Amino acid sequence: MRLVNLSDPGSPKPDERTGNITRWFSAFGRKLKGIKFLDIARAGIVAWAAYFFTSRFIANILLQVHGVSVTYTAFYWLVDGFLLAITLLYAWKPRKLIAQVAMIGVFSYTGYAMTRLFIDQILVLHPAAAVVHGILVGFMALNLGYILGQVFKYLFSPSFRQKLSSLRTDQVISTSIIGAMVIGFLVTWIFFGVANAFPVYFIAFIVVSFVVVITLLSLKHRSKAYKIITAGTIVWLALTCWSYFGFSTPHVIEDPNQAEFSYAFWGSPSGGLYYYHNNDYNETWYGTPELDAELTMFSNLNATFYNTINIDRLGNASTEYYNNLTNIELTLEEWESYGLNFIFDITPLNNETGEPRGDYVSYYYLEQMNDTINVLMDWLEPLNLTNFRGISFDVEGPKYGDNQPISEAQYRRALVSYGGILSEFKSRFPDSSIHLIQMEGILFDFFDGDHDLDIGQRTVSTELEWDWYGFMTYHVNPSPSASSYRYAYYMDVGIEQFGMQFQPWVGWWYDADSIDQPGVYDQSLEHVKIAKSRGVREVVLAPVRNFIGQDHNHTKIMARLGDLLDIKNGFETFTIPIHHDMRLLQDWDLYWEKIVPNYLITNNNVLKDLLIGTPGGWFAWIQLAVVSGPVVILLWIYDRKHA
């Protein structure tokens, strides 16, 4: 078909141009009739690979653009790059046995990863993406079934039996070594429990191991393809193992010695929130020399204490000590004398379970939240306490009941409602501040320019205006899944978005004695130092009852608060490794138990943010392009070959 020049009198007329286009499509249609089913499947494989790996590569790129070290993301680049290379090899040579066997492993992993993304957030907020995702999972499952059929058909063929009967000694030895390694891995995996806990993994691993060993037996060991595959795999394994430990690159942590640095704590000093801790109002820990010394130490830390409050406690006229506001006022006045600040965390009551239960903040309970803040303001305003720092929202989504569905409309209503009551609070308490306490995953809810992770979590947070943006970056663990570099890059992402309004949290110590487990206390202090090294103004430790202990051990309390004071005054420079799984070095049993495919994702929150996406957003267009692009290109190549 030639181009038409409308200014040329000899150019074809409109009817003739239409005829040319019609004839071209007609001719192309006849060519398409000759396309083999295998060619269509190959184009589909390339489109599927583009869909699956693009989101993962973009997640890596986004993290690197936002400051994450390439020595951390390199591990994921190598893993995904290797899987993509196998996929393209299969699309190029779909009849090659080695490519088919390799794709069994690729499809086993990617199938697990893709089915984990059938979550409420995607189904509700981006149903079109969920449909596409489901179609591609089905396509992958069909291909996996086809490949397994081809492999097992070969295993029972006369040609395979003939190859087995003519094996050379070197083939038997090399294959036996590889088989022993595979069996050793399998036995270790079973011994440490993961295969027993998840039988489907065990079955899948048996199948994959069997076909890999059989395939190695059937290859010609001196063939060019075998040498290339072997050399490439060895190089890839070496690089991947090296990148697993960050290419041996340490991350330096230095104290910036910022002028303003303080601590906040979830909870109260060992004296508690209630001045008297019995209904006869004659027992208190306040006023003792030990508690006076403790409060003085907290004062040296410029400490603030978060405590929850709800409409029931504010409006209950009960004489029980924990519902007596005067009993709380005495404590707040005691703290004021030491210069210790307090924040009240506003929580709703959930009535769905038949009795009121304290819940987390979501975009439901709007009227109750507003009422609670109004009653709180009416209570505190006449007290004129100079140490009232402000209020906070512990934004985690509803904990109880099933009547709080994901709803963007409800999110919008909550924006207006919470925005109004927070503005009223600021007008009545202009010297106080409002504090966000949010799940750490929402730190990554900005890569695609919307708030879909927030909406999917049934919360309202970063779109509101806060004085402090706190995130529960709880990475302390008796057996951490990664080195503290992971905590460091979470700090960097938070500061990039919120600057010095970012407020990291350290903890959570679930049991009273968990902080006393080997390495946990030192790890907690290391996270405080990492947060301080980023220049933040304040770090929150939660919960304080487990940090200082619940046994009123004065010596331990003073020692631990002293450690925090030493960090506040300055700490020495140190380095942390960039490891992807510290359990490999510190908890061998748990390392083997936790070998599951979802560990091979750079950051689940970034990936989820991209895949939930806003319909019509930039990532949706990229998905459309990467899925349709390979098909269009292959059709163009086919047309050129058959011109």
What are 341-373's pLDDT values in tens digits? 999 999 998 877 677 788 899 999 999 999 999
Over 80: is that where the pLDDT of 591 sits?
no
Over 90: is that where the pLDDT of 552 sits?
no
Top-confidence residue, 40 or 291: 291
Task: Please give the mean pLDDT across all residues of the chain.
Answer: 84
Give me the DSSP letters along 4-31.
--TT-TTSPPHHHHHHHHHHHHHHHHHH
Over 50: is that where the pLDDT of 6 sits?
no
Please check whether residue 388 is in contact with residue 380, taking contact to mean a CB–CB distance below 8 angstroms.
Answer: yes
Nearest to 438 by CA among 448, 426, 453, 425: 453
For residue 1, what pLDDT is reported?
40
Mean pLDDT of the region 569-583: 92
Task: Look at the alpha carbons of 176, 182, 184, 190 in this order and tell me if their dihedral is positive or negative.
Answer: negative
Residue 218 CA to its chain's centroid (Å): 42
For residue 271, what pLDDT is reported?
93
Strand-pairing partners, residue 349, are 358
What are 27-65's pLDDT values in tens digits? 555 555 556 767 778 888 988 998 899 989 999 999 999
For residue 430, what pLDDT is reported?
96
Confidence of residue 215 (pLDDT cuts 50, 70, 90): low
Measured CA to CA, the distance from residue 580 to residue 246 in angstroms comes to 8
Phi, psi at 115, each rounded to 5°: -70, -25
For residue 78, what pLDDT is reported?
93
Q: CB atoms < 10 A from the CB of 85, how many?
A: 14
Q: Which amino acid is at 367?
A: E
Total-model pTM: 0.86
Measured CA to CA, the distance from residue 623 to residue 155 in angstroms comes to 38
Residue range(s) in the chain whose domain bears CATH number 3.20.20.80: 260-577
Percentage above 90 pLDDT, the chain: 46
Token pair belonging to 637:
């190549």
Token pair belonging to 256:
């910036």
Nearest to 548 by CA among 263, 261, 257: 263
- Of 120-129, 335-344, 457-466, the range with the lowest mean pLDDT is 120-129
For residue 3, what pLDDT is reported?
44
Please check whether residue 642 is in contact with residue 31, taking contact to mean a CB–CB distance below 8 angstroms.
Answer: yes
Mean pLDDT of the region 483-497: 96
Percentage above 70 pLDDT, the chain: 81
Measured CA to CA, the distance from residue 586 to residue 581 in angstroms comes to 9
3-state secondary structure 472-530: ECCCCCCCCCCCCHHHHHHHHHHHHHHHHHEEEEEECCCCCCHHHCCCHHHHHHHHHHH
For residue 249, give every residue at least 6 positions away whose Cβ sits within 8 Å of its Cβ, in sequence order, or none: 69, 71, 578
Best mean pLDDT range from 69-73, 106-110, 319-323: 69-73
Residue recorded with tokens 């209020």: 391
DSSP-derived pairing of the beta strands 357-358 and 349-350: antiparallel
CATH of 260-577, one of 3.40.50.2000, 2.60.40.10, 3.40.50.720, 3.20.20.80: 3.20.20.80
CA distances from 586 to 249, 427, 485 (A): 19, 52, 16
Confidence of residue 9 (pLDDT cuts 50, 70, 90): low
Over 60: is that where the pLDDT of 451 sits?
yes
What are 454-482's pLDDT values in tens digits? 999 999 999 999 999 999 999 999 888 88
Measured CA to CA, the distance from residue 229 to residue 329 in angstroms comes to 74
Q: CB atoms < 10 A from the CB of 423, how many?
A: 12
Query: CA neighbours within 13 Å on the CB side: how many for 251?
Result: 23
Q: CB atoms < 10 A from the CB of 626, how many?
A: 19
Token pair belonging to 120:
């409420």
Over 80: is that where the pLDDT of 7 sits?
no
At 361, is the secondary structure helix, strand, or coil? strand
Over 70: is that where the pLDDT of 406 sits?
yes
Confidence of residue 426 (pLDDT cuts 50, 70, 90): very high
Please check whether residue 284 is in contact with residue 264, taking contact to mean a CB–CB distance below 8 angstroms.
Answer: no
Please check whether residue 344 is in contact with residue 392, taking contact to mean a CB–CB distance below 8 angstroms.
Answer: yes
Phi, psi at 67, each rounded to 5°: 100, -5
Confidence of residue 629 (pLDDT cuts 50, 70, 90): confident
3-state secondary structure 118-138: CCHHHHHHCHHHHHHHHHHHH
- C-alpha dihedral (506, 508, 511, 516), degrees to nearest 10: -30
Measured CA to CA, the distance from residue 320 to residue 303 in angstroms comes to 28
Over 60: is that where the pLDDT of 600 sits?
yes
What are 263-278's pLDDT values in tens digits? 999 999 999 999 998 8
Mean pLDDT of the region 142-154: 86
DSSP-derived pairing of the beta strands 468-472 and 433-439: parallel
Best mean pLDDT range from 51-55, 191-195, 428-432, 623-627: 428-432
DSSP H helical segments within 219-300, as ranges?
224-244, 289-300
Top-confidence residue, 517 or 526: 526
Over 70: is that where the pLDDT of 561 sits?
yes
Please check whether residue 391 is in contact with residue 343, taking contact to mean a CB–CB distance below 8 angstroms.
Answer: yes
Nearest to 38 by CA among 128, 122, 159, 150: 150
For residue 287, what pLDDT is reported?
93
Which segments within 370-428 are labelled E, that is strand? 388-395
Measured CA to CA, the distance from residue 342 to residue 360 in angstroms comes to 20
Over 50: is that where the pLDDT of 24 sits?
yes
Residue recorded with tokens 């039996």: 161
What are 226-272's pLDDT values in tens digits? 677 777 777 888 888 899 889 988 999 999 999 999 999 999 999 99
Confidence of residue 219 (pLDDT cuts 50, 70, 90): low
For residue 411, what pLDDT is reported?
96
Best mean pLDDT range from 40-44, 103-107, 135-139, 462-466: 462-466
Measured CA to CA, the distance from residue 460 to residue 450 in angstroms comes to 12
At 239, is the secondary structure helix, strand, or coil? helix
For residue 38, what pLDDT is reported?
72
